[in-house]
Amino acid sequence: MTYSLYISTTEAGTGKALIALGVIDFALRRIKRVGFFRPVAESDPDAAKDDDIELILNHFGLQQSYEASFGVSSKEALQLLRDHRPDEIIERIIAKYKALEENCEFLVAEGTDYLVESTSAFEFNFNREIAKNLGCPVLVVGNAKGRSAEEAVNPVRIAIDSYRFRGCEIFGAVLNKAEASESAALAASLQKLYGDKNWLLGVIPADRSLSSPRVAEIAEQLGAQVLYGEKRLDSLVFDYLVAAMQSQHALEWLRENHLVITPGDRADVILAVMQADQSSKYPELAGLLLSTGFAPESSVAKLIDGLADPLPVLSVRTDTFTTASRMRTIRAHLRAGDADKIDRSIELFDRQMDLDALGRRIRSVRTPGMTPKMFTYELLKRARSSQRHIVLPEGEDPRILKATAVLLNKGAANLTLLGQREKIAAVVKHQRIGLDLDRVDIIDPAQSDRLETYAATFLQLRRHKGVTPETAHDCLLDVSYFGTMMVYKGDADGMVSGAAHTTQHTMRPALQFIKARPGFSIISSVFFMCLEDGVRVYGDCAVNPDPSAEQLAEIAIASADTAQTFGIEPKVALLSYSSGTSGVGADVDKVRTATQIARMRRPDLKLEGPIQYDAAVDPEVAAQKMPGSEVAGQATVFVFPDLNTGNNTYKAVQRETGAIAIGPIMQGLKRPVNDLSRGCTVEDIVNTVVITAIQAANAASDRVDAEH
């Protein structure tokens, strides 16, 4: 069964792309095959692509082509209307929609953009006919920007009445871009009108970061020449300032993310603004827009050329008044690749909408298995519910700071950064990271009042290894030792490090004094491999070079428990170059012995080994090589015989399939400490912190159970 939804708006500029992002992101947590369709692509496919189609397809990686994602282009639709062939428009849209529908379980269609004001009435009727012919329930999105509750709700009410008169099913109503002062009244008005309908109803507040264009968008829409600062064209422009006064007075008017407009021959203003951007005493600016076509004089240009990271400088030929007037026409777009705005949109949708109601309204059959999107969403949900405290020792690394901003916005954990506050603040400003440092705990180990206590504890734990008071003090100045000691002492629930340190540097303190859980002799690791058809667990791909049979059995058991902890049913394949009893040799015998040991220790687990990878994943091969096995052909946990095999395999799968590899996740420690790759991305850090928070919650639960 395919279920669908048609997103229709009451006018231009309602922000329906945010709604589409939120709905599809939510759907992908439950449904594997989700599609996106636009009846009319708002561009000429021969010249450019529709922004919203590009946005959705690229962000979610939907398995559909661009050409399959729309019925007709706007150019084709206009030509058919001129030829008096409107029925053919409908026919083409239906045909392409039905073709896409065959490969989807849930399909989101997004209506037209109302770009030409004079055609608004025609476009509304057109959207109504399309929704009716496609059989899609309609979600009506209204624009509440700058409007009272009555002014915002009336267009939505009229649209809903019109759709219902035409026989369309209503999915719900959303008011977007609401003023904070009107949000409660807007929600009350929707409830009064439709609270008894079992529809999806919601009010989404205006968000400055979403409504603000980036410097690159301004340059594009004004046709401006970029003179300097190409690396910073992604800066958001919250507002603009016309600097017609002398420079010393202009400085007093500067505000965060201002775009300063001034004639190109005003060297005094240009230099003052450039210096203000470099100064920690002034707010972060977005850029300079030079009017009148004048370029900075050679002496000024030489100075700007010598700056390592100059403010973006744009140039237009129009006079200052005209330039400022044109700024009022600039539109901010949600575009493919703008990860910050996309993530912010989805977070806003999740926070403001009734997701339980949305789930009830999406009636598609829940598909078996766990998709990568389902997996990462469930992880975040569990981390939010536990609110564990995670320490990040590499607090001055830009990736760590960007991940911290994401984690705080998602409410995933309480965080402590190690490092000097001044240095961290400088990185945040220089890298333009949207992180409010007042929301995060920052500790400089050298200045911490915990340093001596931690050093004394370390001395007590390691005195038998020759550690002296001086050595203990020096060790605790190291962020890895300090962060690990926070975990040991219970001042943090877990630690994530390794973005700027080796695995050995990160894990040595944990091995020295956190140590292994009872019943485990080694620490091992797994990667969560988020493949297109589900999530798999690979272990050990990061720690143990050549485990013995006993150690391999431990890795298999620990990996199975890790899978179970994170909602993956463990069916464990201990891999080798031979399946079953056919192979001989020391390597395959080790895996065979490890399987026997693991079965003896944990008879409740489904384990198979030795087994080849193809027999572990392919039911047809499994039927030939290992008939009757509970694991063969359906394995979810893969245990590699050595580090060489495991590390190469996970990297090959990651690169060749585009899979997300989350890890390495350490297992076997009493308290969670996880290592990052030095080439990690912000997304890698976010995922690892979320997993560490869940591990910490489970470790705390295990300690409580042990005490009772």
Q: What DSSP string describes 502-570?
A: -HHHHHHHIIIII-BPTT-SS-EEEEEEEETTEEEEEE-SSS-SS--HHHHHHHHHHHHHHHHHTT---
- What integer is the mean pLDDT of 281-286? 90
The phi and psi torsions of 196 (rounded to 5 degrees) equal -95, 10
Residue 122 or 96, more confident: 96
Contact predicate 29/346, CB 8 Å: no
- Whether residue 345 lies inside any domain: the answer is yes
DSSP for 485-510?
HHHHHTSSSEEEE-SSS-HHHHHHHI
DSSP for 214-226?
BHHHHHHHHT-EE
Q: Which long-range contacts (CB under 8 A, 24 or more apart) does 49-55 make?
A: 51/17, 51/333, 51/334, 51/335, 51/336, 52/16, 52/17, 52/20, 52/110, 52/334, 54/335, 54/336, 55/17, 55/21, 55/334, 55/335, 55/336, 55/342
pLDDT above 70 covers a percentage of the chain that reads 95
- Whether residue 708 lies inside any domain: the answer is no
Q: Tell me, what's the pLDDT at 365? A: 36
Q: Tell me, what's the pLDDT at 364? A: 42
- Whether residue 690 lies inside any domain: the answer is no
Helix (H) or strand (E) holding 36: strand 34-41
The amino acid sitting at 1 is: M
pLDDT at 533 > cutoff 80: no
pLDDT tens-digit profile of 461-474? 998 888 899 999 99
- What integer is the mean pLDDT of 604-621? 92
Say yes or no: 390 and 422 in one domain: yes
Say yes or no: 306 and 355 in one domain: no
- Whether residue 229 lies inside any domain: the answer is yes
Cα torsion angle, 242, 244, 245, 247, sign: positive
pLDDT above 90 covers a percentage of the chain that reads 53
pLDDT at 163 > cutoff 70: yes
Say yes or no: 222 and 161 in one domain: no
Specify the CATH number for the domain of residue 133. 3.40.50.300
pLDDT tens-digit profile of 316-375? 999 999 999 999 989 888 888 888 899 999 999 998 998 888 888 776 434 445 667 767
pLDDT tens-digit profile of 481-493? 999 999 999 999 9
Tell how many helices (H) and how many strands (E) occur in the chain: 28, 23
Q: For the CA atoms of 86, 88, 94, 100, what is the dihedral angle to 10 degrees?
A: -120
Say yes or no: 499 and 555 in one domain: no
Entry pTM: 0.68
Say yes or no: 69 and 192 in one domain: yes
Q: Tell me, what's the pLDDT at 487? A: 94
Q: Tell me, what's the pLDDT at 519? A: 80
pLDDT tens-digit profile of 115-157? 555 456 677 788 888 888 888 899 999 999 988 888 999 999 9
- What integer is the mean pLDDT of 615-644? 92
Say yes or no: 67 and 9 in one domain: yes
- Whether residue 367 lies inside any domain: the answer is no
- What integer is the mean pLDDT of 556-577? 92
Specify the CATH number for the domain of residue 398. 3.40.50.10950
Specify the CATH number for the domain of residue 655. 3.40.50.10750
Q: Tell me, what's the pLDDT at 708? A: 44
What does DSSP say about strands 287-291 and 313-315: parallel, antiparallel, or unpaired? parallel
Q: What mean pLDDT is reported for the chain?
A: 88
Whole-number Å distance between alpha carbons of 602 and 542: 24
Whole-number Å distance between alpha carbons of 223 and 289: 12
Say yes or no: 115 and 226 in one domain: no
Say yes or no: 319 and 406 in one domain: no
Under the banding of pLDDT at 50, 70 and 90, the label for residue 63 is confident
Under the banding of pLDDT at 50, 70 and 90, the label for residue 531 is confident
Say yes or no: 495 and 591 in one domain: no
- What integer is the mean pLDDT of 542-550? 91
Whole-number Å distance between alpha carbons of 175 and 673: 44
Number of folded domains that form the chain = 4
The residues near 201 (Cβ < 8 Å, ≥ 6 apart) are 172, 173, 174, 187, 190, 191, 194, 195, 354, 357
Q: Which domain holds residue 421?
A: 372-503
Say yes or no: 268 and 350 in one domain: no
Of 475, 503, 531, at which residue does a domain stop?
503
- Whether residue 664 lies inside any domain: the answer is yes
Say yes or no: 134 and 47 in one domain: yes
Contact predicate 191/149, CB 8 Å: no
- Whether residue 699 lies inside any domain: the answer is no
pLDDT tens-digit profile of 642-696? 999 999 999 999 888 888 888 889 998 999 999 998 888 898 899 999 999 999 9
Question: Both ends of the chain: CA-CA distance in Å?
Answer: 49
Say yes or no: 356 and 319 in one domain: no
What does DSSP say about strands 534-539 and 524-531: parallel, antiparallel, or unpaired? antiparallel
Q: Which two tokens mark 697?
A: 């919650």
Under the banding of pLDDT at 50, 70 and 90, the label for residue 272 is very high
Contact predicate 661/539, CB 8 Å: no
Specify the CATH number for the domain of residue 289. 3.40.1390.20
